[in-house]
Structure formats: structure tokens, C-alpha cells
Structure 1
Amino acid sequence: MSEPNAQEPDTEEPGTKEPGPGPAPEPDHPDHPDHPDHSDHPERPQNQDHPQNPARPEQDERDEELRLRFPGDNRAKAGASMSTAAMLRRLPHLVRRALALAWAADRASTVLLLACQLLAGIFGALALYATTGTLDALLVPGPVADHLHAAAPSLVLLTTATGLRAVLGITVVGLSGRVSPRINREAELALVAAGCAAELKAYDEPAYNEQWEAADRGASTTPDLLSNAQDVIASTVSLAAAAGVLATLHPWLVPFLLLGSVPTGVAAVRTARIHYLAAVTTDEDRQALRVYRWFLVDKARADQVRSDQVTPFMMAKYRRAEAKIVAATDRATREAARVSLLAALGTGAGSALIWGTLLFLVATGRIDLAAAGTATFALRTAASGLQGVVGNGARLYRMGLYLDDYFTFLDEAGGHRIRRGDHTPDAPAVVEVLGLSHAYPGEQQEPALRDVSMTLRRGEVVAVIGQNGSGKSTLLKLLAGLYLPQRGQILWDGVPVERLDAEGMWTRVARVPQEFARWPLGAAENIHLGHLTDDLMAEVERAARQTGFDEVVARLRSGWRTLLAQGWWGGAELSGGGWQRAAVARALYRTTRSPGLLILDEPTSDLDPRAEHRILHALRALAPGRITLLVTHNIANAAVADRVIVMDAGRIVQTGTWQELAALEEGLFRELLDLQRDRSIPGQRTAAP
């Protein structure tokens, strides 16, 4: 059986078709390389518009397309290994894993579920045995009343067993419906906890994002995991019961179980493999579709989608990616249909052989007619059970591939679980940075920091300025312990940050990042974030007054109890400045509660001069007892600091007081200061006389 692969679909993309064989153009033809209009005119564009659609440029086959490829993705390899033998070997492990999840979620229901499955198998076997007794009583000469009287005990047993089995089946469905949501909730909570236990650097690794997505897919399979596992258990019990009945009727009948169901079961595994591999090979394009769709419908870009009239262009890219998915899916469907057809032929041949053998046994007197009738029911039950084992097992096996990703992620948080020291620090008196360097992953990434050294002391306000990309934000993340040094050291009172307890260190850090969180919480909750104190609201309001956030809250419909969220989430939305006041108030509340490092990265970028003035004065008032770091592009705001550090290309190029650096005739600080002061406009229009 051929396997689907990652080759391009049979359908051609617009604008990428290569010229096929045919007569070469004449020298005077415009497409001939020697034609004067072809290569002798450099002003001629190399990429001409499509002749039938001038608005759509041809896509050069060398153009890079959006592809979300991640290292370490082994799903294709795992899918290629899917086989009937591998599935049967792995089924017991997967069933145990499903039951372990169910046991952790709801022990009582899990025990009842297993008990019901076992009893259902027993009653199924009793029903088959009762069928033999019923047929024995009916298929003999004599009055009908005598037949019914003789068959009455078997009929009662058959009816009772069938009814109880039906009740148990309903009970199993109910128990499964009770346990499955609990499993899913536990799985999602464990996944979120594992994600939050990863180092921040994990988010810079493409492999981590793919591992998270794979683990998330695994968590989403857990509601169906138990139902599939219990279907496998039910089919196995039913198969065992029917096989036991057949063995008592005649040993020859047991091997014929395989003839009627193995082809169908093998086909189920192979078609599952085909569809799984098709999904894996089109994953890049499906991810691209998700990205294109998000960019087209997200509120943050909705205005530009309309004003830039980008919809037709992006939709064309969407359709090209979708065409590849459709082509690959069609190939997989055709291949699966071929496998299913061959399996149907094999099953039909096996069924013919079974019936021939059964007739032979009856004709030769090896079994009686009543036993033959029971064997017919048992064979049908056994075939259904075996097909259920293989069919449900194939689905369970495919879920298991995703579940492996889930459990692997839980064990190691994608290989980035936080493991640091156990020393819980106090508020640092001195923070030393020695030869610090840092680079983000990527072949084309320049180092963000290069051999940075400095000393920060308690009570200081230090301003960090520099152009975009100079390494300011990276330096602040390292000082806050969000990243660990790749080269060099950061010492808190002489202790390397690697030896500090991560949670204990972050207790001493209050931050306002450039992209601060806009939590969908109440106004007061957005300040304290669950870090409660004895005099909670007084401290929340005190922090809000220092930033002017109290004035914003006063205008809200329910004051401090107002939900701050997008309008369609039922909350009240704030302006950019309102949210920034909340973010700064959050940091001030935190540093008042637990002093240490106060780190503010462009904390006043969206604020008016009055709010900006209030916050800068609050920083000076809070300076004693903590180390304050302020990143700002407004050079005038740096005057609030005791010391100014100037960064460029990941290095510290200047340091000193604001007055010392402003007095220099050269240097980056003076250049940025002069540019900020210069508001003359070349060629400015003047008023007419």
C-alpha cells in the first residue's frame, strides 16, 4: 500500500506553472531571450502582471510562502509506524493510561464503569447459551405448546440477560459521560500548569510552540479517550464471550472468527494511518490558513484590512493553501477507499468460507441445527467484537500519538521546566552585572546584549535610554530573572540569580513591560492580581492615586468592581492611557507590598503630560528601599534619575548623570537630546503676507 507523502498536490497554483514542452519562440518573439525588449532594457520589470488579471502579480516560484515548520516534529514518523501489530501491542498500554486518567478524575465512577463492562460480557455469554436452549426446545417434532413450555426457562434467561445487558450499556454511556468532562478539565489544568512552569526562553524556541500545540491537541482528545477505551474493553469482552460459546459448540468454529473480521480490522488501521499522515503533511498549510484568517478578522487590524484593501490579495493566498489541503485530502480519500474495497472483498470471501464450514458441520452431524443457529449468532457477535477492537483500537492508537505529546510536555514542560536554586532572597542592596551577553534563537539574530557590566544600588533611580533594538528591554528581563544569563553573571547581593528560588526572586520584582497585560478582571483585581493584604483596598487606592488611575475608576459604571474587558466580553474597555495607568499602579502596589526591583519599560508612552508628571514624581518618592530602573525614549524624563545609562547595539556606551551627559558636545546621549529638541521642518510653508 502506498503512503501519502508531503509532495505538492496535483493541482497547480496560480502563477507558478512552468512552461511545458513545445516549439521554442522565434528570435523576434517577445519571450525569446535575444529579443531586444527582453533583456536589454533594465527598466522593464522582471515580474509582469498577469495578462488576464492586472491586479494580481505573478508569484515567483522562489518567493517564500508562510510555512510553520518546527524542529523536533516526529508526528510523520510516528504515523508511518502505525500498523495493526503495533496497534495491538500498544492497546493495553493506552487502555491503562485512559483508566488511570479516569481513576484520577473520578474513582467511584471508574470502578462502576469497569464492573458494568464485565457484567455486560457475562450477560452476553448467557444470552448466547440461552439461545441454544431455546432453539433445542423449538426445533424438535411435537406440539407447539410443549415446545414453548420446554423453551420457557431458556427464553426467560435470554430475555433477562438481554434486558440487563441493555441497562448496563445505558449505564456505561452515562458513567462515561460523567467521567470524560472531568478528565478533560484535569488534563487542561495540568497542561496550563506545565506551560506556566516553563522558562521564559522557551517562548523564543519554535520547537516549544509546536510542542505546546501538540500537547494541547493531546489534551483535547482526552474527553474521547475514555469512551474509545471503554469501547475497546466492551468489544474485547464481547469477543471473549462469543469465542467461549463457539469453543463449547465446536472447536473448528473458533479459528473462523478471524476470516470475517480481520480484513476489515486491518483496513481500519490502514485507513486511519492514511488520514493521519494526510493531516500531518498538510499541517503547515492548515496553520497558514489559521494565520491568514486571524490577520483578516482580528480587531487589531480590521481598520487596515479595509483601508489598505488587502482582502483580495490575502484571500488569494488563502485559496492557494486551501487547494493544497484539498488535493492531499482527496488523494488520501481515494487511497482509503481502495483499501476499504480490498478489505470488503476479503471479508466477503471469509464469510462465504464460514457459512460453507457451518453447513458442512451440520450436514455431517458434527453439530445439530440448534447449535448451528447459536453459532450463527455467536459468529456475528464475535465478528462485531473483533471489528470493534480493531476499529476502536485504531482510533485509540491515533489518539495515543497525540496523548504521547501531552504526557511528554507535562513531564518536562517542553524541555524547559524551571529548575533553579532554593535560596529565597530579600530585597537586594546591590545588583551586579558582570560581562552579560544574550542572544535570541535564530541564525540571523544579532546578539541583543554584548559584554554588559554595571552595578545597581538600593535607593537609586537609573534611567536606561537608547535607540530601538539597543537591548534595553532584554537587559530588564535579565535583571528581573525572566531570562538566565547565557554568558556572564547577575548577582543579587553576591548570589548568582541561578541559585535563587524563581518564585522568591519574582516576589521582589515589580515590572511595567512595554506590552503590559490587560487582564479581563475587575478594576481592583487588575491592581492586586490576587496578592491580598490586610488593608487591601486602601493600598490599591493609594497606588491608583499615584498614577491617576483612581480618576479613571471614578468614571466607571461600578467603580472598583467594574469588569475591565472587551465590550463583547461584557466588560468596560479603557483607553490606552487608562490601561497604562492601571499597569503602573499595579507595579507600584506590588513594590510597596514587597520592595526590591521596580522596573518600568516606557511606562508613560500613552499618557498626557499631567499623568506623566505625576508618575515620575511617584518614582522619586518611592526610590528609598528599592532599585528603580526606568527605560524611556523621552530624554527629558531621564532627568528624574540619579544616573543615566546609554545603550547602543547591545552595549553600554555612556553612563553618568543627566547633566554630565547633556554637557558633552558629542556622544549618543547628546545626539538623541538634540534630535528631540529639534522641531524645525525643512521646507516648512510660511503664512502668505
Structure 2
Amino acid sequence: MSTHATPEPDAAEELSFAFEGDNRWEAVQGITLKTMGRRLPHLIKRSLAVAWKVDRRSVIALMACQTVSGVAAALGLFATTSTITALIGDGDITARLWQAWPSVAVLAAAAGIRATLAITVTWLSSRIAPLMQQECELMLLDAATGSELAAYNSPGFRDKWDNAERGAVVAKDIIEEGQELLAALASLTAGALVLGVIHPLLIPFLVLAAIPQGIAQINSARISYAAAIKMTGNGRMLGILRWHLSHRGSADQIRAGTMAPFLLGRYKRITTRITAVHQQAITDGARMSFLGALGGGLASALVWTVLITLLATGHLAIAAFGTAILALRTVTGSVTAVVRTSTLVFRTGLYMDDWTTFMDETGGYRLTGGTHIPEAPREVRTDNLVYRYEGTDTDALDGVTFTARRGEIVALVGENGSGKSTLSRLITRLHLPTSGAVTWDGHDTRTLDPHAAWKQVSLVPQDYAAWPLTARENVTLGQPHDDDTDLWAACKATGADEVVHELRSGFNTLLANEWLGGKELSGGQWQRFALARAFYRRAGLLVLDEPTANLDPRAEHRIFTGLRDVAQDRVVVLVTHRLTNVAVADRIVVLDHGRIVQEGSFAELSGQPGLFRELLDLQNDRTVPAPRVEQKEITA
């Protein structure tokens, strides 16, 4: 029998997918020397604003150092003219030396001041840079947590986040690059001022000499940035693969499934793709730099020709010519430095643009809402509720209308994909309706202050977080508390107290064995803690989404027998596939493909034909298969 290997699909298209509204490619193509000149002051100003926020005294000191350094450079060049004039003049050499020493003293002082200031600038820049990165990262994380939950279902949100995160990381670079730019500008200004005094004709030729390098460097920046954004999705996939290949949660499946060669092969193909794109960008950038250097060299030769012509025609004195040579060397180096650092600042600024855009728009999903501060809801109602996830062409919920009141337990049941979890997110205001409405005591959730609303919510999701925090923090979730009385009560209600008693340091034990002294819990133990969080919170709306999926029968029984007491002063919504557990509910809402198809008590629904009865019968069907026929041993 012949076998045919199925070729593995190339994921490059999916990883590089351009989502709607992504205008970065157009922005890259629009990068020109004129664009850079127009936007560069804005980029520096924005960076200085962040630096001013984190350490304004250091910013003031930096600006003062750069100003004094530029003045010292100009004084040094002017002193050079006086020194050369004195040394090459007529008369006794001793008299000429005495005439030159004040200028020499100025030169020495200027050099010493500039050296001291350079050390100070380096120290101040190194002091501000990590503070800027920290501030930008904190602002970015704050923006991410301030986005609507729907953002995480958007195909473009993660790309926007990745690029914004890169902008936060390079924020520390822009302050150092900005200081280099200011230093180069100060030196350039000083040299240009001296050359302008010597002969104004030299200035336009210096500008001409800078243009070829400027064009080349800008094109290199565009190529580098384009390569980076092109590989955003590929880079993120590498991060995910690295996590799975090294994390203990995937280790058993990688080994038992013999997945290592497959995953390593996928990793290698993606890294090869990224390397190829970046190598091409490096090659193209080097070509641009070569052309820029060639053009700059020809322009510099023209400047030197003009300078020598001025000397030969008597328009420039010998002493001024010597000073002009020094000034020209200073200016030439400064022009190169200005072009190079301007490009670095501009390229870093492109990444910070991604950061700024994300901060302004939160990836297009800035948290919205009203100003109404809700009390603990007495009634939660949905009215003709419709919800559709972004990128899909069908509604996850379609025309759902139901009511849950304080003191009762409402169960949501149905097959996978019926919309149960989606509905639970909508009634907790984690999602906003596509159409229709969700109301708390008559107030549309769109009009609620989101953070105030969530203070009234206790949620146990299907995928609960196992925080690398202490046992106490894993229950309180950082909420302030006076003592552990309520903490113990919540843990006893869920069985988490049994786990705490077994921990080495009780509530002070770190629940993460990646650190010394930490403890890793089982899935069932973690679920007890997830339930304890919800019970401890004492919010008015309690939503339990598959709350006992990992619990043993004894722990599960404890939860459901105590749920009636919990519901006395709360609205309780229970989402589960275990239909025998919903007997505790006052009402059961049966969902099918986003619509409510049945509603009633356990006794009513289990006693009549319909989806609920069908699913209940299937769960209870434990037909014993026919016994295995024993095979008689065959003897020769």
C-alpha cells in the first residue's frame, strides 16, 4: 500500500495577514526627507514630554548641558582663529606666544568643559532612559486593560499591541538618540556660525553636502521599519512556539505526541523567513548608505574646492583658512552625526507612533461606557439581545430575552457553541450587545461606568487564571481586607480551606513551583480557589461558568448544596453541561445556536420532549456494552 505525504501548508500568508484599517504600509511609503524634517521636532517634543513626566530635573539639566556645550564649542573655534593669527604673525616669537596664551587657555577650558558635560549628559541620559521605558510600558499596559474585551477577538488587535509594545521598549533609546542629536546640532551650529563669520558662501555648500546622506539614511530607515512590521505576526508565532516548547504545561503532550521535531521544524521555517526578510533589508540599507556616502563625498570635495578657491583668490586669510579647516572638520562630522542620529530618532519615532496610536485609540477598542454608578443589581434582563463576534458572519446570540432576579438561580444550558458563555459575558458587561439590550435594574449596560459595574460582578470563568501569587492574594485578588475571617469563610464554602491547611506557609504560600518554596496545585485545587474568589467578593451578580468541571464528587456536592444560601442576596447565573446539577436552579434556560428554545424548572423540562430532555437522557445513558468474549488458547 502506497502512502502519500500531505504537504504542510505554509502559514506565511496567515502570519502576515493585513487587517482592515492597517495603514502602516502607506505610512512607510510616505517617509521622505521632507516628512522627516516636518515630524522630527514633534517626535523629540513628545519624547521630552514623557521624560519631563518621569524626571523633569534631569531634563532641565540635559538641556542646560547641551546649551553650554554648544557655546563652549563655538568659543573654542573662535579661539582657534586668535591662536593661529598670533602664532603666524610677525614679530618676536616670545611676544607672539604671550599674545596666544589667552586663546590657548580658552581652547583648553572649552575642551575641558565639553568633556565634563559629555560625561554628565551620558549619566543623565542613562538615568532617564529606564524610567521612560518603565513609564511607557506601564501606560501601555494600562491602556490594554482599559480596552473592551471584544478587542481580543479582533484579528488586528494583537498586531497593534505587538507594534505598540516595541514602541514602549525603544522609548529608552529615543532619549539617548535625542541627546546625541542635540549634541550634534550644537556642534554643527557652532561650526556653521564660525564658518559663516569666516565666509558666508560656505554655508549653502555645507547644506548641499548633507542632502545625499540624509536621503540615503531616510530610505534605510523606511526599509528597516517596513521589514519589522512585515514580520510582526511571524515574531509573535515564534514567541508562542518558544513558550510551548519550554513550558511544563505542554511538556507531557510534546513528548507523548512526539511533536518536538514538528514544532522545531515549524520554528526553524519561521526564523528562516524572518532572517531572509531582515537580511534583504540590511542589504538594501547598505546599498542606500553606499550611495549616500558617495554623494556626500562628492559634495564634500566641492566644499573643499570652494574653500581652497577662496584662499587662492585672497578672499580668505591664512589664519582664517586654518580655522576654517578645523571648523569644516567639525561641521562635516556634525553633519554626518546629525543625519545619522536624526534617522535613528525618526525610526525610533515610527515605533513610538505605534505606541502613541495604541494609547490614543487602544487599538480601536478603547473602553466605552456611561457614567451611571450601579448598585448591586436586583434584576438583570436581556431584551432581544444579538451579539456577533468580529470576523464572523453569523450571530453568536440571536434575539435572546430572559430575566434573572436576586434570590434565584438561573441555569444556562445547551450544546457546545450554543452561546452560553457569550451570554454570561454580556450580562456581566464584559461585552456590549451588537443590538438589543442588557439592563441592570432598568439601566442599559452601555450607560454604566464599566469599572463600577464590574465591582458588582463575581465571575468564575471556564478558563480561570492560576496567578503566581500567594494563596491569600489568589483569593482576595489584591482587594483590601482587614483580617482573614471572610477569607476563611469563602474558602470553607468551596473546600479551598482543605488545600490551605496542607500548604507549607498557609495563606502566605506562593502558588507557583517555578520559584523556590512555591507550590503547584492540581486542576481541582485551583478550581476551588477560583470559586473562593467569587464567594469572597460578595458582589451582587454571581456568574459561574462550568464551576465544578475539575472537582471530585464530594467537592462538587459541597458547592451545589451551598449555592442556595449564596443566592439569597445575589443574582446567580449558572452555566454548565452537567444537567443533573441544574436541579438546584429555579429556572433553566436552554440555548441552541444562539436562541432560547426552552425555559422552565428542572421538573418541567425533564418531563417534556425537547432539547433539554434529549441531552439529559444522553448524559444518563450508560448502556453497558456486550461482555468481551474470552478467547480460548490455541494449542498445537
**1:684, distance to aligned residue in structure 2 (A):** 4.0
**1:636, distance to aligned residue in structure 2 (A):** 1.6
Q: Secondary structure at the match of 2:31?
A: coil
Q: Tell me if structure 2 keeps the 8 A contact 1:261–1:384.
A: no
Q: Secondary structure at the match of 2:204?
A: coil
Counterpart CA distance in 1 for 2:233 and 2:570 is 48
Partner of 1:471: 419
Q: Deviations over 1:424-448 (max 9, x none)?
A: 22222222222112111124x5322
Q: Equivalent of 2:566, from 622, 628, 632?
A: 622
Counterpart CA distance in 1 for 2:238 and 2:383 is 46
**1:260, distance to aligned residue in structure 2 (A):** 4.0
Counterpart CA distance in 1 for 2:137 and 2:516 is 22
- Pair 1:389-2:346 in alignment: no
Q: Equivalent of 2:215, from 263, 266, 269?
A: 266
Counterpart CA distance in 1 for 2:382 and 2:35 is 55
**1:212, distance to aligned residue in structure 2 (A):** 1.8
Alignment of 1:102-117 (within 5 A): 102-117=51-66
Partner of 1:39: none
Q: Deviations over 1:82-112 (max 9, x none)?
A: 1222111211111211111111111111111
- Pair 1:327-2:276 in alignment: yes
Q: Equivalent of 2:509, from 551, 559, 562?
A: 562
Counterpart CA distance in 2 for 1:603 and 1:59 is 39
Q: Secondary structure at the match of 2:363?
A: coil
Q: Tell me if structure 2 keeps the 8 A contact 1:520–1:563.
A: yes
Partner of 2:476: 528
Counterpart CA distance in 1 for 2:416 and 2:343 is 54
Partner of 2:119: 170
Q: Tell me if structure 1 keeps the 8 A contact 2:216–2:288.
A: yes
**1:458, distance to aligned residue in structure 2 (A):** 1.3
**1:153, distance to aligned residue in structure 2 (A):** 0.7
Q: Tell me if structure 2 keeps the 8 A contact 1:69–1:284.
A: no
Counterpart CA distance in 2 for 1:381 and 1:271 is 25
Q: Secondary structure at the match of 2:156?
A: helix
Partner of 2:616: 673
Q: Equivalent of 1:512, from 448, 460, 463?
A: 460
- Pair 1:607-2:551 in alignment: yes
Counterpart CA distance in 2 for 1:137 and 1:663 is 114
Partner of 2:444: 496
For the aligned residues, what is the CA RMSD? 2.3
Q: Tell me if structure 2 keeps the 8 A contact 1:78–1:401.
A: no
Partner of 2:89: 140
Aligned-partner residue type, residue 612 of structure 1? E
Aligned-partner residue type, residue 439 of structure 2? L
Figure out how many residues of one structure are paired with residues of the other and give that number. 632
Q: Equivalent of 2:139, from 190, 213, 223?
A: 190
Counterpart CA distance in 2 for 1:640 and 1:366 is 103
Q: Tell me if structure 2 keeps the 8 A contact 1:463–1:644.
A: yes
Name whichever of 366-375 and 410-419 sits farther off.
410-419
Partner of 1:8: none
Q: Secondary structure at the match of 1:414?
A: helix
**1:274, distance to aligned residue in structure 2 (A):** 2.1
C-alpha distance 570-366 of structure 1, shift in aligned 2 (>3 A): farther
**1:419, distance to aligned residue in structure 2 (A):** 2.5
Counterpart CA distance in 2 for 1:330 and 1:490 is 53
Q: Tell me if structure 1 keeps the 8 A contact 2:163–2:229.
A: no
Q: Equivalent of 2:537, from 590, 605, 619?
A: 590
Aligned-partner residue type, residue 615 of structure 2? L
Partner of 1:32: none
C-alpha distance 176-210 of structure 1, shift in aligned 2 (>3 A): same
C-alpha distance 570-360 of structure 1, shift in aligned 2 (>3 A): farther
**Larger relative helix fraction:** 2
Partner of 1:17: none
Q: Tell me if structure 2 keeps the 8 A contact 1:68–1:287.
A: no
Q: Secondary structure at the match of 2:568?
A: coil
Counterpart CA distance in 2 for 1:612 and 1:159 is 84
**1:142, distance to aligned residue in structure 2 (A):** 5.2
**1:59, distance to aligned residue in structure 2 (A):** 4.8
Q: Tell me if structure 2 keeps the 8 A contact 1:129–1:245.
A: yes
Counterpart CA distance in 1 for 2:440 and 2:415 is 28
Partner of 2:602: 658
- Pair 1:310-2:254 in alignment: no
Q: Report the TM-score, using the length of structure 1 for normalisation.
A: 0.87
Q: Equivalent of 1:580, from 500, 514, 527?
A: 527
**1:316, distance to aligned residue in structure 2 (A):** 3.3
C-alpha distance 66-340 of structure 1, shift in aligned 2 (>3 A): closer
Counterpart CA distance in 1 for 2:245 and 2:26 is 34
Partner of 1:81: 30
Name whichever of 451-460 and 365-374 sits farther off.
365-374
Q: Tell me if structure 1 keeps the 8 A contact 2:210–2:339.
A: no
Q: Secondary structure at the match of 2:416?
A: coil
Partner of 2:246: 297
Q: Tell me if structure 2 keeps the 8 A contact 1:481–1:506.
A: yes
Counterpart CA distance in 1 for 2:78 and 2:517 is 63
C-alpha distance 549-589 of structure 1, shift in aligned 2 (>3 A): same
- Pair 1:71-2:15 in alignment: no
Q: Deviations over 1:326-375 (max 9, x none)?
A: 33333333322322222222222223233333222223332222211111
**1:61, distance to aligned residue in structure 2 (A):** 7.8
- Pair 1:278-2:227 in alignment: yes
Name whichever of 575-584 and 332-341 sits farther off.
332-341
C-alpha distance 301-684 of structure 1, shift in aligned 2 (>3 A): farther
Q: Tell me if structure 2 keeps the 8 A contact 1:448–1:649.
A: yes
Q: Secondary structure at the match of 1:224?
A: helix
C-alpha distance 82-465 of structure 1, shift in aligned 2 (>3 A): same
Q: Tell me if structure 1 keeps the 8 A contact 2:462–2:547.
A: yes
C-alpha distance 184-323 of structure 1, shift in aligned 2 (>3 A): closer
% identical equivalent positions:
46
Q: Tell me if structure 1 keeps the 8 A contact 2:159–2:233.
A: no
Q: Tell me if structure 1 keeps the 8 A contact 2:404–2:573.
A: no
Q: Secondary structure at the match of 1:647?
A: strand
C-alpha distance 298-77 of structure 1, shift in aligned 2 (>3 A): farther
Q: Secondary structure at the match of 2:137?
A: helix
Counterpart CA distance in 2 for 1:401 and 1:407 is 10
Q: Deviations over 1:610-653 (max 9, x none)?
A: 11111112211112111111112222211122222222211222
Q: Deviations over 1:545-592 (max 9, x none)?
A: 11111111111111111112242476321111111101101100112x
Name whichever of 161-170 and 624-633 sits farther off.
624-633
Q: Secondary structure at the match of 2:314?
A: coil
C-alpha distance 415-532 of structure 1, shift in aligned 2 (>3 A): same
C-alpha distance 431-272 of structure 1, shift in aligned 2 (>3 A): closer
